[in-house]
A and B are shown apart, each in its own frame.
Chain A
Amino acid sequence: MELYQLTAWELFEKMAAKECSAEEITQSVLRRIDQKEGDVQAYLTLNKEASLAQARAVDQKRASNEALSPLAGIPIGIKDNICTKGVKTTCASKILSEFVPPYNATVMDKLDATDCVYLGKLNMDEFAMGSSTENSFFQKTHNPHNIKYVPGGSSGGSAAAVSAGEAVLALGSDTGGSIRQPSAYCGTVGLKPTYGTVSRYGLVAFASSLDQIGPIGRSVKDVALLYSAICGKDEKDTTSIRREYPDFAKGIVPSVKGMTIGLSDEYFGEGVSDEVKTAVMKAVDALKEQGANVVSVSLPSTDQTLAAYYIIASAEASSNLARFDGVKYGYRTKEYTTLEEMYEKTRSEGFGDEVKRRIMLGTYVLSSGYYDAYYKKAKFTQKMIQDAFQTAFGCCDLILTPTAPDTAFQIGENIHDQVKMYMNDILTVTVNIAGLPALSVPCGFDKKGLPIGLQMIGPKFSEGVLFNAAACYEELLGGFSAFSALK
């Protein structure tokens, strides 16, 4: 067993028992990166020297018997839309290709306190818009299970790196499924936290009311560890919520005894592959045997939700991305004579097609005369969805669905069919629209050997319940690491 194959918790125990050093762990992961990165291409920026130096510093702290966090010395990758002071943060876009933020995202300040090791910045769909990581300006990331396939997106770099053993843990961001869908495609565990529990300060905004940063790992406990480290009220983000945040990793009780699981026909309908349905239902049956009750719940149509999602997300994006105008930072076109021309050329040359599509869509739905027909209606639909979930959670503790309708598709397969691409998000966007937490865990492989994802959705602030249920299932399967591409 190589160190890079272990979970964060296993590595923490090894370090605590002086069976290995943080430096050895980072070295193991860096060697793995050397070996796999040519195929996977998960990283946009790698900080080999800096990460080794960080690891050595942790070893020194441990040698002098300083109290250390369980994440101390654990090599972590960061999605490239999270601002890292002094380290390039590109959002995988040409327009920010040289942008080095002079400030940290709040989650980075929080991670600093754990002494974890930063490996580098991970690839993504440009500005987190996409479901395949094919929309990166720099490179396409490949699914480590089969490099002909996409890793999912937009946090494809994060899920691929964790699955390939190129990172022990990673931070992603999730606006409509961007943590969960790549986790499903790569066989990792990914959490989209309750909206407002993780500060968005320093996360380059795509859709402010839907974006959340979250952890990706190879075990439930690892994900709980990283979530505990980054959650909490932040004075710099007024949408972050003040409440008691327990130690989630410590609090895990791997059991579903007495829990009620809700199933909704809406999430097993047309478009969901038989292999996926079968794997998810098998998981449901396994949990039933562990003492869970299963009930059927009614949720609004996923089509309606998807429409509302694309309107709200694009509207906010059109405004959030307006600041990339060539005036202050980032890319500016070379030749222009007027201000108008500078704006037009900078943005035409700086943004990729998918980003432009969403900016145009968002601009359209906010235009005077169309606002009521689109944006207002979408906000109304959002309220309806929130209410429907509230009703559903009146009779169940969590809802199980497939994470994505199918397993990973081939690189290039959907690139010209936007609607088909958008359908990838159909089972995940609801969670963002309703502001709920959801966890994606592996629940099998398809015939091609690609992982299948199971989504567990809970009411607001029910992360602890999701961890308990997922940990119970994890025990049944003998761990989730087997779904990663660690060999």
Chain B
Amino acid sequence: MSKEYVTVIGLEVHAELNTQSKIYCSCKNSFGAEVNTQCCPVCMGMPGTLPTLNEQVVASAVKMGYALNCTINPVSKQDRKNYFYPDLPKAYQISQFDIPLCENGYVDIWVDGKEKRIGVTRIHIEEDAGKLIHDNSFAGSLVDFNRCGVPLIEIVSEPDLRSSKEAKAYLDTIKSIVQYIDVSDAKMQEGSIRCDINVSVMEKGSDTFGTRVEMKNVNTFSGAVRAIEYEAARQIAILEQGGTIEQETRRWDDQKGQNFLLRSKEDAHDYRYFPEPDLQTIVLEESYLSQIKDSIPELPNKKFVRYLTDYDLPEDDASLLVASVEKSTFFETMVAFGDVKPKSISNWILGDISRIMNETGKALADLEIDAKGLDALLLMIDENKISNSAGKTVFEEMLKTKASPEEIVKEKGLLQISNSDAL
């Protein structure tokens, strides 16, 4: 092992959108229903049926496009990707080929104490396939069509990632963004966010990428880390032995911690893409696009960095606050009063308030905290008028009685006597 290698990674993330209905029919878009109960002649590809595009899918994809700083194509089209598989009832998937909805974006991720910008090649919309069920009581396989036509966005990154750690940070960022802008539930255990991984290795200092290998069937982010490390090691071992890397597709088996050849370059599918003649070109008006653009909130990755720089919060505090929209919103309401140190506010939110939320199972809004009152309370603690532990008592009393902290302090005689004159 004389040489040093750099791993080059590109990711294709598939996220199921949380729209009410499926992408091309009015079936409910929901997970976990009894097999073959959420399907109709259209999503089952019955003869003569036709798709009609769910506009909400376009809106969600465009929203994600803006969140990832993409250019939105005002005119885009849908194409057929043709291949045979029993879970694909039409034997083609409606997807987008040469003109996707969104292109040329980027996302900033946080790795090792600094930001890194990762290019986003494109985001397109497509339909999900069904699921094969292998049941031991039956010799063949069974098909559940419930997932057919569930709307997906595919987010394709540039090969800008250089380690499994960066890949993990990228995936976490994408997940937090789809959840923040509420386009996907991104529940890994339900398969609503999953990825294909392209990995190549090159000698350190080289500017030519090695031959890439695509890995499919990666269903968890931790699995992605393992898959990348395994594949990079496999490729390096081959190169070290003087071998060459073949362009191929491999299937990741997370249980075995290994990947297996799925198909070589020669066996690669020819999907015979062509424009979907059953659907119209997607044309998006300027006003429609700007309306969606304006609806994008500050994104978690940006907010995180701002909390570090503007409020001097530790990374842990920042990421915990950012992870929850209501906590970060409340945090900023409190900070805006300008009376108390941001770190003190963060401590309260991540400490007592979170504890009470957990204990009562209530959302932050349901606790009906009087922000101004809490501000006054924290000020009293900061100014050493009452002790921190007294503050907790006062806070619990505030939640119960809705009284002001001053009243409670007075009533309970909790004023801390730090003034020596008073003694």
Give the B-binding residues of A (Cβ under 8 A).
81-83, 89, 91, 96, 99, 101-103, 105, 200-205, 207-209, 235-239, 315-316, 318-319, 322-325, 327-329, 339, 343, 363, 366-368, 371, 375
Is the CB–CB distance between A204 and B274 below 8 Å?
no
**Separation of A363 and B271 alpha carbons in the complex (Å):** 10
Is the CB–CB distance between B47 and A83 below 8 Å?
yes
The answer to the question of B347 belonging to the interface, with a C-beta cut-off of 8 Å to chain A, is no
Is the CB–CB distance between B272 and A367 below 8 Å?
yes
Residues of B within 8 A of A339 (CB): 86
Is the CB–CB distance between A238 and B274 below 8 Å?
no
The answer to the question of B369 belonging to the interface, with a C-beta cut-off of 8 Å to chain A, is no
**Separation of A318 and B41 alpha carbons in the complex (Å):** 21
- Contact partner of B274 (CB less than 8 A), chosen from A83, A239, A315, is A315
A sample of 19 inter-chain contacts (CB < 8 A) reads A96-B47, A101-B47, A201-B49, A208-B277, A235-B52, A238-B53, A239-B50, A316-B277, A318-B82, A319-B82, A319-B272, A322-B84, A322-B91, A322-B92, A327-B143, A328-B45, A343-B84, A366-B82, A368-B270
Is the CB–CB distance between B274 and A375 below 8 Å?
yes
**Separation of A81 and B47 alpha carbons in the complex (Å):** 9
* Shortest Cβ distance from residue B140 to the other chain A in the assembled complex, whole angstroms: 9
**Separation of A323 and B85 alpha carbons in the complex (Å):** 10
Residues of A within 8 A of B49 (CB): 103, 201-202
**Separation of A337 and B177 alpha carbons in the complex (Å):** 46
Residues of A within 8 A of B44 (CB): 328
- Contact partner of A239 (CB less than 8 A), chosen from B45, B89, B272, B280, is B280
Residues of B within 8 A of A327 (CB): 86, 89, 143
The answer to the question of B48 belonging to the interface, with a C-beta cut-off of 8 Å to chain A, is yes
**Separation of A375 and B272 alpha carbons in the complex (Å):** 11
Residues of A within 8 A of B323 (CB): none
Is the CB–CB distance between B92 and A319 below 8 Å?
yes
Residues of A within 8 A of B207 (CB): none
Is the CB–CB distance between B272 and A105 below 8 Å?
no
Is the CB–CB distance between B91 and A325 below 8 Å?
yes
List residues 86-143 of chain B with CB under 8 A from any CB of chain A: 86, 89-92, 143
- Contact partner of B272 (CB less than 8 A), chosen from A201, A202, A328, A368, is A368
- B44: nearest residue on chain A (CB-CB)? A328
- Beyond contacts A238-B280, A239-B50, A328-B44: 20 other A-B pairs, Cβ-Cβ < 8 A, are A89-B47, A101-B47, A101-B48, A204-B48, A208-B277, A208-B278, A236-B52, A238-B51, A238-B278, A239-B277, A239-B280, A316-B277, A318-B82, A319-B82, A319-B272, A323-B45, A327-B86, A327-B143, A363-B272, A368-B270
Residues of A within 8 A of B80 (CB): 319
Given contacts A204-B47, A323-B45, whether A209 and B270 have CB atoms under 8 Å apart is no
- Contact partner of A323 (CB less than 8 A), chosen from B90, B270, B272, B280, is B90
- A329: nearest residue on chain B (CB-CB)? B46
**Separation of A316 and B80 alpha carbons in the complex (Å):** 10
Q: Please provide the 9 A-B residue pairs with the shortest distance between their CB atoms, ordered closest to farther.
A: A322-B91, A366-B272, A208-B277, A209-B277, A202-B48, A204-B47, A204-B48, A83-B48, A327-B86
**Separation of A368 and B265 alpha carbons in the complex (Å):** 14
Given contacts A238-B53, A368-B270, whether A328 and B277 have CB atoms under 8 Å apart is no
Residues of B within 8 A of A105 (CB): 48
**Separation of A322 and B279 alpha carbons in the complex (Å):** 18
- A368: nearest residue on chain B (CB-CB)? B270
**Separation of A327 and B46 alpha carbons in the complex (Å):** 12
Is the CB–CB distance between A323 and B50 below 8 Å?
no
List residues 268-290 of chain B with CB under 8 A from any CB of chain A: 270, 272-274, 277-280
* Shortest Cβ distance from residue A87 to the other chain B in the assembled complex, whole angstroms: 13
Residues of A within 8 A of B273 (CB): 366
**Separation of A375 and B86 alpha carbons in the complex (Å):** 28
Is the CB–CB distance between A102 and B277 below 8 Å?
no
**Separation of A200 and B51 alpha carbons in the complex (Å):** 11
Is the CB–CB distance between A367 and B270 below 8 Å?
yes
**Separation of A136 and B366 alpha carbons in the complex (Å):** 69
**Separation of A315 and B82 alpha carbons in the complex (Å):** 11
- B280: nearest residue on chain A (CB-CB)? A238
- B269: nearest residue on chain A (CB-CB)? A368
Residues of A within 8 A of B143 (CB): 327-328
Given contacts A209-B277, A366-B272, A375-B274, whether A322 and B48 have CB atoms under 8 Å apart is no
* Shortest Cβ distance from residue A240 to the other chain B in the assembled complex, whole angstroms: 9
* Shortest Cβ distance from residue B216 to the other chain A in the assembled complex, whole angstroms: 18
Residues of B within 8 A of A203 (CB): 48
- B41: nearest residue on chain A (CB-CB)? A103
List residues 357-389 of chain B with CB under 8 A from any CB of chain A: none
Residues of A within 8 A of B50 (CB): 200-201, 236-239
Residues of A within 8 A of B51 (CB): 238
Is the CB–CB distance between A322 and B270 below 8 Å?
no
* Shortest Cβ distance from residue B421 to the other chain A in the assembled complex, whole angstroms: 82
Given contacts A103-B46, A319-B272, A363-B272, whether A328 and B92 have CB atoms under 8 Å apart is no
Residues of A within 8 A of B270 (CB): 367-368
Best-surrounded residue of B41, B50, B86, B273 (most CB of chain A within 10 A): B50
- A211: nearest residue on chain B (CB-CB)? B277
Residues of A within 8 A of B86 (CB): 325, 327, 339
Residues of B within 8 A of A235 (CB): 52
**Separation of A375 and B80 alpha carbons in the complex (Å):** 14
B 283-315 binary contact with A (CB < 8 Å = 1; else 0): 000000000000000000000000000000000
**Separation of A204 and B80 alpha carbons in the complex (Å):** 17
- Contact partner of B84 (CB less than 8 A), chosen from A236, A325, A366, is A325
* Shortest Cβ distance from residue A92 to the other chain B in the assembled complex, whole angstroms: 13
* Shortest Cβ distance from residue A137 to the other chain B in the assembled complex, whole angstroms: 15
**Separation of A91 and B273 alpha carbons in the complex (Å):** 26
Residues of B within 8 A of A101 (CB): 41, 46-48
* Shortest Cβ distance from residue B89 to the other chain A in the assembled complex, whole angstroms: 6
List residues 5-38 of chain B with CB under 8 A from any CB of chain A: none
* Shortest Cβ distance from residue B280 to the other chain A in the assembled complex, whole angstroms: 5
Residues of A within 8 A of B47 (CB): 83, 89, 91, 96, 99, 101, 204-205, 323-324, 329
* Shortest Cβ distance from residue B123 to the other chain A in the assembled complex, whole angstroms: 22
- A83: nearest residue on chain B (CB-CB)? B48
**Separation of A343 and B88 alpha carbons in the complex (Å):** 13
**Separation of A478 and B58 alpha carbons in the complex (Å):** 56
**Separation of A82 and B48 alpha carbons in the complex (Å):** 8
**Separation of A146 and B201 alpha carbons in the complex (Å):** 74
Is the CB–CB distance between A205 and B84 below 8 Å?
no
Best-surrounded residue of B45, B90, B91 (most CB of chain A within 10 A): B91
* Shortest Cβ distance from residue B106 to the other chain A in the assembled complex, whole angstroms: 30
* Shortest Cβ distance from residue B27 to the other chain A in the assembled complex, whole angstroms: 14
Residues of B within 8 A of A208 (CB): 277-278
- B81: nearest residue on chain A (CB-CB)? A319
* Shortest Cβ distance from residue A2 to the other chain B in the assembled complex, whole angstroms: 35
Residues of A within 8 A of B272 (CB): 318-319, 363, 366-368, 371
Is the CB–CB distance between A328 and B89 below 8 Å?
yes
Is the CB–CB distance between B89 and A323 below 8 Å?
yes
Residues of B within 8 A of A81 (CB): 48
Residues of B within 8 A of A205 (CB): 47-48, 278
Residues of A within 8 A of B89 (CB): 323, 327-328
List residues 246-277 of chain B with CB under 8 A from any CB of chain A: 270, 272-274, 277
Is the CB–CB distance between A201 and B91 below 8 Å?
no
**Separation of A323 and B86 alpha carbons in the complex (Å):** 10
* Shortest Cβ distance from residue A301 to the other chain B in the assembled complex, whole angstroms: 25
**Separation of A209 and B80 alpha carbons in the complex (Å):** 14
Residues of B within 8 A of A237 (CB): 50, 52
**Separation of A91 and B46 alpha carbons in the complex (Å):** 13
